[in-house]
Amino acid sequence: MAKGYWVSVYPAITDPASLDAYGERARSAVRAAGGRVLARGSRVAGYEAGIAERVVLIEFDSFEQAVAARESAAYQEALAELPDGFERDFRIVEGLG
């Protein structure tokens, strides 16, 4: 079964306190759903789009598990911590097998 991955790219972080509040809840929700953070960093080499603020990569045992984690009540509560207009590119990607 192919693994599932959350990929989040933050073009700019203008309100670090809000991101920290989200992060606290999101980490708990991800762990509860079986997710593992593989990378979370501000040290990013941005090439094509030039985005180099922060990238987060989280692995789940399956694509379906990754989708279910995103839709979970615990993660929805975490999302509520983000301020209006907060910008990020979030994707769920299926692994190669």
Give Cα separations from 70 to 43, 53, 77 (angstroms): 25, 22, 11
Residue range 67-86, pLDDT digits in tens: 999 999 999 999 998 877 78
33 backbone dihedrals φ, ψ, rounded to 5° = -90, 5
- Residue 10: the pLDDT is 84
| CATH, domain range 4-94 | 3.30.70.100
CA-CA distance, 41 to 39, in Å (whole number)?
Answer: 6
Say what the pTM is: 0.87
Taking the mean position of all CA atoms in its chain, how far away is CA 37?
9
Quickly list DSSP for 10-71.
Answer: ES--S-HHHHHHHHHHHHHHHHHTT-EEEEEES-----SS---SEEEEEEESSHHHHHHHHH
CA-CA distance, 15 to 11, in Å (whole number)?
Answer: 12
Label residue 50 by pLDDT band (50, 70, 90): low
